Every structure is written in structure tokens, then in C-alpha cells.
Chains A and B, each alone.
Chain A
Amino acid sequence: MVDLIKRAKELIETSVVKVLIGYEQGTANKTRALFVEKADDADRLIFDSRCVQNLAAYVTKKEVKEKGKMAIAATLPVMRSIIQLASEFQVNDNNLLVLGITPESKLIEFANLVEVETFVHKYEIEIDARNKEMLDKLEKMTQAERWKFWMDELSPCFKCYACRAACPMCYCSRCTVDFNQPQWIPVPSHELGNLEWHIMRAIHLTGRCIDCDACYNACPLSIPINLLTKKMLADAKEHFGAYQPSLKGDHLMSTYKPDDKENFIQ
């Protein structure tokens, strides 16, 4: 990513941005986030197929935001997240510059978020084949079998909230689980606490999740929690049409159509 390094240096040197968020080599075969604040640090920037962490999680982080205008090396999922965040008034053109990395690994610098949105809308959000297969498999099960599946899968969860931390959409300063009057979600990581936490998480991400898998990648126990959000994504598409984050702010779950179809209300 010679282009990226070069551009990062320029942006920092000319003080167009105060910090650029990109990837660097991490421990072993891992990559990790790099915050370029000095032009020299830009040399550490890398980009390759291992760079899957959703860096958009940092643009709402207080300590990063406070540095001043940010630039972000953004893959397609990151760009989608940014559009969703912008539609939720968390970022704007004044505090964020997007250096897009296309699925073909080309660098595009966007003048503003509207351009990012236009770019993002060229690509429909598609659930990958492996997970689609998994969803199909689960849907073919009986309800009781699914219950067992999830009880088994969720039982190891110790509620470290890495899924929440890694998700760009989970930027709330007080998550529902931190709300204790009343205590909506049981704090302990017992079966009920785990089930309700993950249900709540999936609901709150419905219509907002852009299917980047950050939650799953972050899970230290590799629990397939992304299946829940994927299911919501697939269902939203089925019921309300293809979903794309949009600066218009016509959020899927805070709007409705008078003719929304269902077959279960008597």
C-alpha cells in the first residue's frame, strides 16, 4: 500500500488530519490497528487480506476522536459502518476523511461522505456462502433443536463484551446491559443472562448491522454470534427489501410502511 503510506504522510504533514487509522503488522500473523499521528509512523502501515478488524469502531472512541480530525483506511465494511454512523450523527465530514480501499485493493480518497455512500451503494450486502449454509441448516431445524443449538453455543459465553467492543455500531456510552434500574439483562453469564444479552444485541443491531463479522472475530471463544445478526439481516431483506446504510437516515427499525407484511398477527 505505497499509495496509502504516501497519502497518509501528506495528510499528517499538512495537518489535514490529526490522526490516520490504518493497519500495521501485529503479533505473529495478526494485524492490528495503527494510529498514525507522525508522518514517520506511516511507514508501518500495511494492507492485505488479513486486515479484517472493523476500524470504524475507533471513530467513536473518545480518546481517538479527541485528537482532532481523523482519516481512516476503510475497506468496504468499514465504509458501510461509517455511513451508518454518519446517519446516526456520530461522524461527519468535519471530523472524518475516508480513504477507501476497494474490494480490488485500490485506494480511493473520498471528498465527502456522500461520495462514500454512493460508492458503498454499488455493492449489496451479501451474506457469505458458508454462513448462508449455516443459516439454512438452522432454519431447517425444529424450534427445539435450535434452542438446544443456541444453549450449547452460548453457554461458554462469559460476557466479556468483546463482541460489543469490536462492533462499530455499539458505541453507546451506556449499553442496555449497563442499565440497572431495572436490570433488564441479568449481569451474570448464566444461560439466561447470555441468551438475553445476545438477543438484545441482535435486536439493537437489526437494520444497523452491516455484516462485517467484527463481533465473531473478536469473540475469544469463537461463538458464532454473528449468525444472529445475519439472520436479522436476511429477514429484514426478505420483509422490507434490501438494506443499505444511508445518509438519508431512513432507518429500517425506526420507520415503517403501512403495508408491512406479516402472517402472524390475528
Chain B
Amino acid sequence: MNIDKRLVRKDSLEKLFDILKQNSKTIYAPFSKNGKTSFMDAKSFAGISTGHIQTSESSKDIAFPRAEKILDYSKNKEGMSVKGIDFADIPEVVLWGVRPCDAIGIGELSSIFNWDYKDEIYNNRLSKVTVFGFSCNKSDEYCFCTSVGGNPGNTAGSDILFTRMGEDGDYLAEIITEKGLTVVSLAQNLFEKSETLEREKFLAEVPVRFNHEEIRKKLDKFFESKEWIEESLRCLGCGACAYVCPTCACFDIQDEAHGKKGSRVRCWDSCGFSHFTVHTSGHNPRGVQSARWRQRIMHKFSYMPERLSVYGCTGCGRCSRACPVDMNILEHLISIQEVTV
């Protein structure tokens, strides 16, 4: 489908919001609290955050919730009765205000959830989501989307991409997919035709800092490097990086039993946790934090490209921003590039 470009007046966004609401869409949009910005169920247009460079959390839990019940069970005389998720109950969602580096992450996440087994739940959730991307007009020292093949106005992953033309300007809406078109059809008049639509000059500048293909090749021979140990010495092994990451997909399955009834829950997990790979025997193949930090980098820049033909990093820089001990992934990637193996 060809990308259709339209003008959306700055005052029209709220109208669009209301129309979507009237059409029973659930809207998740970024809101700020405690100085952090997260996606929340937006009851009204007011308060939706716009000034942020990046939300603190990625938007991945719209299709891959941090905790989701995947089935209920109950034991009875005949055995076990199981009730799975009724996909019809999953609401139609508009994900509002997603940055391009987040939007592209949806594709990377999808490739994990469809690599071998097609994850029905994930796919069903995702199919109900329409992504409203918002291009970046600001960046910071953590941003490196351009180093991993993205850019601040990247349309990949969005159904509609909005680019604000100037500080207080109107929006350029790029209608990218059929899904996007369907939404537009609900509010045709808000998407005006216009000849004077420009976007590149309004986008943030994000310099290319490394070559990801080069890194990938280097990593093949880098597994035993001492770099990992030195770089990870200050890593304390929390899961903040993984949980804010748009592409980290590790999960745990928990059964929450209440007598003869119970639920099975899928919830996030992180390869950074020391217990992530502990065997029942007590042996831990990744017994030290350096091995776990290495796993994180290797997975994103070596294993995923190798097996899924996509990189596991969108250059959003969230992990570095979230890290309590300033583990800066960009800094480490640059140093890997500089090291001669």
C-alpha cells in the first residue's frame, strides 16, 4: 500500500481522540507521573504527554502484558476443565503516541513470538492494536536508532505516523497500513489533503554511532572477551533494562493455585536476573553477571539476526536511561566496535 500523506490540524487531534472513543476504542497514550512517562488507558485527551523524548516504558505490554492470565483451570471428578482466553474479550486498542523506535520494536517482538510456535495470544492481542506513531523531533545522548537501521521518522511498525511540523505546528499524518486507513475512515474530515507537507526538517537529528553489521560480525569472536567482565562489574543484575526494552520477550509461566481452581499466568522475566538460568541441580550456566550482560548483548546483536533475521535492538536507549547504575548499551557497543579482536 502506498503511503498516503494528510494534514491533521493541531486542534483536530483531540477531535480524533473523541471520535475514536465514540467508536469504542480503548486508547493507550503516554502520561507522566513521578517524572516518568508511561502508557496508560487514556480516559480523556487532556494530560496526554507530548514533550517527552521517550516514554520510560516501551509500549510492548499492549500485546505482551507484564502479567496476563492465559487460562483458568478447575479440577473436578472427571479430571480438569480448562478455560482459555476468549479473544473476543480483547478490546480494540489504539496505541497513541508511540515513537518510531518503539513501533519498529513491535515487528522485532513479533518475530520472536512467531519464530517457531505462533503465539496465538500475542498475535491476537496485536491484531487488535492500531499504532499511532509520533515522529521524534528531539533526541538525547541515549538515542541511537540510526545505528540500528531506524530513524526518527521511521514509518515501520506504525499504522499512522504523525509528524509535528514545527514547535506549535500542525501534524503530517502518514497513513501507512490498511488498519490505519480504517481508523482514518472514522474521521475522514480531520485528515485533510494538502500540498505543503514537509517532514524531514522537523525530525530530530540522531547521529549514526556504530555499524550494527560490523558489531554482529565481531561478536562471533567476542564471546570469551574480558570486556564483558569489566563492562559488567557495576551491573547489579536487576531487570530494569529488559522490562523497559521494546523487544525483550522473556517470560515466565506461573500457576496460581487456589485449591482445585487456579490460573496460569504469563509474566515478564529477565535474563539479567541471577536465577534466570539456575538448574534444579543448583548449577547455573550463567553464574556471573558478566555472562548475563553478555547474553543480553549477544541475543540482540548476534543470536536474533542469525535466527530471526532481525536485530533485537531499536536504538531507543531506554535501557540506558532506566539503568540505576548507568550501564550504557551504546557506550559498550561503541567500545566493542573499537576493540580489535
Q: Does A220 interact with chain B (Cβ within 8 Å)?
A: yes
- Cβ of B56: which chain A residues have Cβ within 8 Å of it? 220-221
Cβ-defined contact, A27 with B141, below 8 A = yes
Main SS at interface, chain A: loop
Q: Does A6 interact with chain B (Cβ within 8 Å)?
A: no
Knowing A27-B320, A186-B254, A188-B66, the reply to whether A53 touches B325 (Cβ < 8 A) is: yes
Chain B binder among A8-16, A77-85, A108-116, A160-168: A160-168
Chain B binder among A60-68, A201-209, A231-239: A60-68
Q: Does A72 interact with chain B (Cβ within 8 Å)?
A: no
Cβ-defined contact, A166 with B234, below 8 A = no
Cβ-defined contact, B141 with A158, below 8 A = no
Within 8 A of B (CB), among A171-196: 173-174, 178, 183, 186-190, 193
Partner of A160, one of B36, B242, B267: B242
Q: Does A228 interact with chain B (Cβ within 8 Å)?
A: no
Q: Does B243 interact with chain A (Cβ within 8 Å)?
A: yes
Chain A binder among B71-79, B199-207, B268-276: B268-276
* Nearest-Cβ distance from residue B138 to partner chain A, whole angstroms: 14
- Cβ of A35: which chain B residues have Cβ within 8 Å of it? 233-234
Cβ-defined contact, B324 with A162, below 8 A = yes
Q: Does A33 interact with chain B (Cβ within 8 Å)?
A: yes
Partner of A27, one of B35, B243, B331: B331
Cβ-defined contact, B236 with A160, below 8 A = no
Q: Does B208 interact with chain A (Cβ within 8 Å)?
A: no
Partner of A158, one of B57, B252, B320: B57
Q: Does B337 interact with chain A (Cβ within 8 Å)?
A: no
Binary A-proximity of B129-164 (CB < 8 A = 1, otherwise 0): 000000000001110000000000000000000000
Complex CA–CA separation, A27 to B34 (angstroms)? 22
Q: Does A244 interact with chain B (Cβ within 8 Å)?
A: no
Partner of A222, one of B34, B242, B267: B34
- Cβ of B328: which chain A residues have Cβ within 8 Å of it? 26-27
Complex CA–CA separation, A160 to B36 (angstroms)? 16
* Nearest-Cβ distance from residue B124 to partner chain A, whole angstroms: 20
Q: Does B197 interact with chain A (Cβ within 8 Å)?
A: no
Residue of B nearest to A218 (CB): B324
- Cβ of A91: which chain B residues have Cβ within 8 Å of it? none
- Cβ of B233: which chain A residues have Cβ within 8 Å of it? 33, 35, 63-64
Within 8 A of A (CB), among B30-61: 33-36, 38, 56-57
* Nearest-Cβ distance from residue B207 to partner chain A, whole angstroms: 15
Q: Does B239 interact with chain A (Cβ within 8 Å)?
A: yes
Cβ-defined contact, B240 with A27, below 8 A = no
- Cβ of A26: which chain B residues have Cβ within 8 Å of it? 326, 328
Q: Does A251 interact with chain B (Cβ within 8 Å)?
A: no
Cβ-defined contact, B238 with A165, below 8 A = yes
* Nearest-Cβ distance from residue A35 to partner chain B, whole angstroms: 5
Cβ-defined contact, A187 with B240, below 8 A = no
Complex CA–CA separation, A66 to B309 (angstroms)? 39
* Nearest-Cβ distance from residue B54 to partner chain A, whole angstroms: 12
* Nearest-Cβ distance from residue A247 to partner chain B, whole angstroms: 26
Complex CA–CA separation, A64 to B273 (angstroms)? 17
Within 8 A of B (CB), among A14-36: 26-28, 30-35
Cβ-defined contact, A189 with B239, below 8 A = no
Q: Does B237 interact with chain A (Cβ within 8 Å)?
A: yes
Residue of A nearest to B252 (CB): A187
Residue of B nearest to A64 (CB): B233
- Cβ of B236: which chain A residues have Cβ within 8 Å of it? 57, 61, 162, 165-166
Cβ-defined contact, B67 with A189, below 8 A = yes
Cβ-defined contact, A63 with B289, below 8 A = yes
* Nearest-Cβ distance from residue A64 to partner chain B, whole angstroms: 7
Cβ-defined contact, A221 with B38, below 8 A = yes
Knowing A63-B288, A162-B240, A222-B36, the reply to whether A33 touches B325 (Cβ < 8 A) is: yes
| Seed contacts A27-B326, A28-B141, A188-B67; 11 additional CB < 8 Å A-B pairs | A32-B326, A57-B236, A61-B236, A162-B236, A165-B237, A188-B256, A220-B36, A220-B56, A220-B321, A222-B35, A223-B34
- B residues near A, CB below 8 A? 33-36, 38, 56-57, 66-67, 140-142, 229, 233-234, 236-240, 242-244, 252, 254, 256, 265, 267-268, 270, 273-275, 288-290, 320-326, 328, 331
- A residues near B, CB below 8 A? 26-28, 30-35, 53, 57-58, 61-64, 156, 158-162, 164-166, 173-174, 178, 183, 186-190, 193, 217-224
Interface CB pairs A-B, < 8 A, 13: A26-B326, A27-B320, A53-B325, A58-B234, A61-B236, A64-B233, A156-B38, A165-B237, A165-B324, A166-B325, A190-B265, A222-B36, A224-B34
